[in-house]
Structure 1
Amino acid sequence: MGTKLCVAFFLVFNICECRQYRYDYKFVTEVDGWIKLHQVPATWDEARLRCQLEGAILCSPNTINLVEVMKLTMKNTRAEISGVFTGTHAKFSKGDFHSVDGVPLDKMPVQWMPMEPDNEKNNESCIVMVRNGTIADINCDEVFPYICYRKRSEKVILTECGTVDTGYLLNSKTGSCYKFHLDKRNWTRAFMTCAAEGGHLAIINSKKEADLLKNLCEMQAPGSIQFNTIFMGFHDWGERGVWTTIHGQTLQEAGYDVFETGQPDSAFPGEYCGSMFTSSTLNDVWCDKSFSFICEKTVESLLDFNDYD
């Protein structure tokens, strides 16, 4: 009971403060927003998408303050050596560089590195920034660390699910928050989306939870076969026929292993990812096909109580 009261107080407190966003982002007064360095290198498209899924944007050196904060964020990390992808690109029109939030490159307080830009092989439409604040054009399919940025606004208010994402709804019966994604993605992208939002692909732990998710599906797409298959948080992990949740439990250990009659059937060329029919029975499905999916998170998954001791 004490933990629940603490979470409730924390959420109310932050509605007033509006400075808490998520534990993995740091509020920086100089840019009036939140910053996060992703140290695992990614392609530009992957970096842009990850920032977007986290509710932020791929950071660009739009202002002097952002340039300095980006340089400071890189300090004493791998990014200080390699540089970072910025959100500045010319993917829509060769040579027309703009940030993902629409600022043209020639309005940014940055300088090119010597001999840059060179548009090597006519295939460099993304921009990296190095530790001294200079920039170079680069192939967007190369991999670099990157920084996500979210500017503060009056709309940044934590919900009862401990997130600014109003798509998550708290269920009092399970104590978890759920979000139904109508946008279809393959299983890997669905996993990435849930992780970026501070949750995970939903795992059914009881018949009660199965019925809850069934009702959630019915509310989203009543009577529509379009959403009959929903990605869930289980997989065979390469051990064909051994179904395990993404948290390492067997379905039996997790508390729910009710497959649809005739399933799993590993239809050609092989179905190795987990899903649920809207009837709440389980099914194996092709990992590379795109389906809707449900994310699940705890109330506290994005909160950082250490900042408020």
Structure 2
Amino acid sequence: MKTIITCFSVLFSVNFIECSFRCDYKYSVVAKGWFKHFVVPATWYDARLRCALEGAVLLSPITQELEDEMSQILKNFFTSESEIFTGIHATFSDGNYFSIEGIPLSDIPLPWAEHEPDNMEDDERCLIFNGNGDLADRMCEETRPYICYRNGSKEVETNECGTVDNEYRLDTRTKSCYKFHTVPRTFARAHFACSAEGGHLVIINSETEAQVLREIFAKYQSGTMPGLFWKNVAFIGFQDWGERGDWRTIHGETLSEAGYAKFSPGEPANATPGEFCGSIYRTALLNDLWCDKPAPFICEKRPDHPAVCHPLADEENTIDLRSNDISKLRLDCTV
């Protein structure tokens, strides 16, 4: 199944263009790419990770077109004093700044803001872009809004799960898509990853779905997962929400309401303090697990969410570029 959704533009000589990426992104004809801005501030590390999990990168002003797009987004959605994180960083070695794509700062000719860079307290290794088009260094652990970007040249066919991520597989028994993550994360980071990928930690709604997960888990034997962590459990989408013993899914239902409440014998045990998050054994029987200890996890997503659009070649579209307002060239994806 391939989801085809068109993206419309209100221009004098353009009627429509099709996109080849998630339709929660906006397509810019001038910048030839897809953009999504986040107003909720995040650390640089979380911003980079979310963009990567969505199939994009944390945006940097590495071309004039991208700089113009960043300036326009700042103008449209933020205040003149706002700062947004860029993908330019020196997290690998002090003072050596590169964009996420590996472009050195010396090849990005942008001015510094007044009194910048100052590397305050010898701890500022991530760069922001402000409403004046200037750069400044900031602590990566501080929080700022940010923009994710996908280059328009990356035209990847979407699969039956409506994503460019081919690790998702559709199961016809449940009509849901699943992905087993072998790189362990804490429960919070697992939830983060599934959400960014357009899904959620899997919620078991039936014995049939439990069987699906047994089969998925069986494909990932312990020897195939490198690293020192417990490989016979995987986080799924339930926890006690801070009320000990009140197990509910991440969508707020009791396990019985969701359709599956079969714990492994002797579980939940809270054998050592902190087992407040949900997991399954390879049997697909439920288990309580430490929230802060990394484990494999399973994501679930609907095939139609988020919507993914397919492109036509840019040269097949006639664009009136005489307007100076590039915001008119940003295309909204609609069903």
Number of the residue aligned with 2:145: 145
SS at match of 2:96: coil
SS at match of 1:75: helix
Matches within 5 A, 1:167-182: 167-182=167-182
Number of the residue aligned with 2:120: 120
Change (3 A) 1:271 1:101: same
Number of the residue aligned with 1:252: 256
Is this contact kept in 1: 2:206–2:260, CA < 8 A?
A: yes
Aligned amino acid, residue 277 of structure 1? Y
Is this contact kept in 2: 1:227–1:278, CA < 8 A?
A: no
Deviation of the 1:304 alpha carbon: 6.7
User: Which deviates further from its counterpart, 266-275 or 232-241?
Assistant: 266-275
Change (3 A) 1:75 1:279: same
Distance 1:11 1:208 in 2: 30
Distance 1:176 1:127 in 2: 40
Q: Which has the higher contact order (CA 8 A, sep 6+)?
A: 2
Aligned amino acid, residue 136 of structure 1? A
The answer as to 2:164 corresponding to 1:164 is yes
Number of the residue aligned with 1:5: none
Distance 2:54 2:243 in 1: 32
2:282 to 278, 294, 305: 278
Is this contact kept in 1: 2:162–2:308, CA < 8 A?
A: no
Number of the residue aligned with 1:185: 185
Aligned amino acid, residue 298 of structure 1? R
The answer as to 2:265 corresponding to 1:261 is yes
Kindly provide the CA deviation profile for residues 186-236 of structure 1, in whole angstroms up to 9, marking residues without a partner as x: 000000000000000000000010011000000122788952101000010
Kindly provide the CA deviation profile for residues 129-150 of structure 1, in whole angstroms up to 9, marking residues without a partner as x: 0012111111111110011111
Is this contact kept in 2: 1:125–1:138, CA < 8 A?
A: yes
Is this contact kept in 2: 1:11–1:158, CA < 8 A?
A: no
Distance 2:67 2:166 in 1: 31
Distance 2:212 2:162 in 1: 21
User: Which deviates further from its counterpart, 21-30 or 237-246?
Assistant: 21-30
**What is the aligned-residue RMSD (CA, Å)?**
2.1
Change (3 A) 1:196 1:154: closer
1:302 to 306, 315, 327: 306
Aligned amino acid, residue 47 of structure 2? A
TM-score by length of 2: 0.84
Aligned amino acid, residue 114 of structure 2? P
Distance 1:140 1:154 in 2: 28
Give the structure with the larger helix fraction: 1
Distance 1:61 1:37 in 2: 14
Change (3 A) 1:154 1:47: closer
Structure 1 unaligned spans of 5+: 1-7
Deviation of the 1:153 alpha carbon: 3.0
Aligned amino acid, residue 172 of structure 2? S
SS at match of 2:36: strand
1:10 to 3, 19, 23: 3
SS at match of 1:220: coil
SS at match of 1:81: coil
Change (3 A) 1:154 1:103: closer
Distance 1:80 1:223 in 2: 54
Number of the residue aligned with 2:242: 238
Aligned length in residues: 300
Deviation of the 1:80 alpha carbon: 4.5
Matches within 5 A, 1:182-221: 182-221=182-221
User: Which deviates further from its counterpart, 124-133 or 250-259?
Assistant: 124-133
Deviation of the 1:156 alpha carbon: 1.9
Aligned amino acid, residue 305 of structure 2? S
Distance 1:119 1:9 in 2: 48
Aligned amino acid, residue 184 of structure 2? K
Kindly provide the CA deviation profile for residues 73-100 of structure 1, in whole angstroms up to 9, marking residues without a partner as x: 1223246532100000111222111101
Kindly provide the CA deviation profile for residues 237-258 of structure 1, in whole angstroms up to 9, marking residues without a partner as x: 0111010000111000000000
Is this contact kept in 2: 1:37–1:147, CA < 8 A?
A: yes
Number of the residue aligned with 1:67: 67
Is this contact kept in 2: 1:33–1:152, CA < 8 A?
A: yes
Deviation of the 1:24 alpha carbon: 1.7
SS at match of 2:264: coil
Distance 1:9 1:159 in 2: 7
SS at match of 2:47: helix
Distance 1:237 1:294 in 2: 19
Structure 2 unaligned spans of 5+: 8-16, 310-331
Q: How many percent identity over aligned positions?
A: 47
Distance 1:278 1:284 in 2: 14
